[in-house]
Structure 1
């Protein structure tokens, strides 16, 4: 099966594929998602198979209206409605308790909750509305690999495994949505994203940020909490913000192979790197770094000679929390200490 690239003028055809139980990847402002009819259990199972995704890893349900959420949620608390009014459409996913039997266990991972998102991407909202069903939408990549931020990334991973890809060019944010759990008494961020803790607290007051690792026998309530994520074939090391990059460069010069360097423009301009350093700019600030993080990891994944990637770290506040969450997962928690 050859995967078709749908233009934004071919949404009706893409929706017909969804209604026929096929898989179509779709763009959002964060990353590309792997879409299937959330009400079609057979189609949803194909998502897990195409990605190689563990079956206890729940899926986010993408909607094109709050009314669509009301079909499945047991209730929408006032806090949730306030956040929807402020941040939807946008990169905030909200976990709510659902009506018994309203969504299959294949979608929820067997939980009594589901995660809902209203993406800020008009072609995908048109796709959902035309299909008339919500779409599950994990990142459209091979499970564990860096998330896709272009249709070409999706094609690289999933060509022949899915029916199509709705191409809307590069995504704007570059990392997945913030996931906020409102199914418990105390709201908690399970995955940081572009909508920050401070952004949310400005609307509903104090919330918590989850730092607990999900145990092997537990079902995670949101993607990214349990399994290896965002990892290229090379070993990634985080270069902490206070690190002297000239010393990093001296270490790189002693290595027998090429080393990938992902760093800010200012770092690349002020550091004299050796010939075996392969450079990738993540821009000038945390916004551009977040946007380009997965691009850089994928760029080096296409260069098998590179076995080590050194990536510049940022302070983990604001958008930096989302960037460092993904980078630390990509690195498996490994930080550069000159003994890498």
Structure 2
């Protein structure tokens, strides 16, 4: 546990965190939302260790934090102009964008269906670490099903020895989770409402329509068969297929969804 709350200790702590990440190990770091646990996004074993530390399956891939918006074109393809507008307006900040991943990248974040969730955090410690090591796969520093850690101590209580280094920069209590927006289609879709409001997004999008994720399915005998597909849609095409399923074939995921963005 290294204290980052003063400038003298911060530089050394960031340097040690960078060494840990380069060595293929896990680090807990503060962000502008909650504390996150992360590893080198291009180290397949380290990313698997992140999921294992959280007791999480590959069906719930971690998002990737980047040091600046210029990194995006190396990680994503077919980035729509509205996504670039959102990045310019709200990065760094609590906005996660789901984009189509570059197919040539030698990484394995889990079952992403060809997408990647990217964010540039508005946190000095996190940005310093990212500037040292590049893109880091980061998800909230807690066991799956438990509350997100708002302090380094809370993260350590849950993740313990699975993490090699904890960076302590005080509590993160003022903001909720990031807002997640699907940018893989012609128009953006809010997948998770977070600390950045949809109205704030609409203010900069102009004529581009911003959609909310489809409502939960209608239940009961009068519901159409296609309504069996509903609830959180953070994997696959990110939109309902309209294909009916037999009762009980679809399992509704927890409210956090498969992308648990910090």
TM-score for both structures, normalised by structure 2: 0.78
Q: In the TM superposition, what is the alpha-carbon distance from 1:229 to its structure 2 partner?
A: 5.8
Residue 53 to residue 226, structure 1, CA distance change in 2 (3 Å): farther
Sort the Cα spacing of 1:39 and 1:226 in 2 relative to 1 into closer, same or farther, 3 A: farther
Aligned with 1:56 (options 44, 55, 59): 59
1:113 maps to which residue? 115
Alignment pair present for 1:88 and 2:88? no
3-state SS of 2:254 partner? coil
Q: Is the CA contact 1:31–1:173 (under 8 Å) kept in the aligned structure 2? A: no
Alignment size in residue pairs: 221
Residue 168 of structure 2 corresponds to residue 167 of structure 1: yes
Q: Counterpart in 1 of 2:22? A: 19
Is the Cα contact below 8 Å between 1:76 and 1:96 reproduced in 2?
yes
2:41 and 2:136 map into 1 onto residues whose CA distance is: 5
Deviation at 1:175, TM superposition (A): 2.0
Deviation (angstroms), 1:35: 1.0
Which ranges in structure 1 are unaligned for 5 or more consecutive residues? 231-325, 327-340
The answer to whether structure 1 residue 5 and structure 2 residue 31 are counterparts is no
Residues in 2 aligned to 1:229 and 1:140: alpha-carbon distance in whole angstroms: 17
Structure 2 counterpart SS, 1:114: strand
Q: Distance in 2 between matches of 1:117 and 1:59?
A: 11
Report what 2:231 is aligned to: 213
**How far off its partner does 1:112 sit?**
0.9
- Residue 109 of structure 2 aligns to a residue whose secondary structure is helix
1:21-48 CA distances to partner (integer Å, 9 max, x unpaired)? 0000111111111110001101000001
Q: Is the 8 A contact 2:41 2:137 kept in 1?
A: yes
Q: Distance in 2 between matches of 1:158 and 1:203?
A: 39
Cross-structure match for 1:194: 195
Provide the rounded CA distance (Å) in 1 between the counterparts of 2:255 and 2:158.
Answer: 15
Spell out the pairing of 1:1-340 with structure 2 (5 A cutoff): 4-5=1-2, 7=4, 8-9=10-11, 10-102=13-105, 104=107, 106-131=108-133, 133-204=134-205, 205-210=208-213, 211=215, 212-214=230-232, 227-228=253-254
Contact conserved, 1:92 with 1:179, CA < 8 A, in 2?
Answer: yes
User: Distance between the aligned counterparts of 2:84 and 2:112, measured in 1?
Assistant: 25
**Could you tell me how far 1:75 is from its partner in structure 2?**
3.0
Per the alignment, do residues 88 and 226 of structure 1 end up closer, same or farther by CA in structure 2, a change over 3 Å counting?
A: farther
**Contact preservation (8 Å) 1:220, 1:226:** no
> Structure 1 residues 34 and 220, CA, compared in 2 at 3 Å: closer, same or farther?
farther
Q: Deviations over 1:94-134 (max 9, x none)?
A: 11112113253x31524111110000001100001112x20
Give the whole-Å Cα distance in 2 for the aligned partners of 1:129 and 1:28.
14
Find the structure with the greater CA-based Rg. 1
- Say if 1:34 and 1:140, in contact at 8 Å, map to a contact too: yes
CA RMSD of aligned residues (A): 2.2
Q: What are the ranges of 5 or more consecutive residues in structure 2 without an aligned counterpart?
A: 5-9, 216-229, 239-250
Higher relative contact order (CA 8 A, sep 6+): 2
Q: 1:80: Cα distance to partner?
A: 1.1
Partner of 1:160, secondary structure, is: helix
Residue 226 to residue 12, structure 1, CA distance change in 2 (3 Å):
farther
TM-score when scaled to structure 1? 0.61
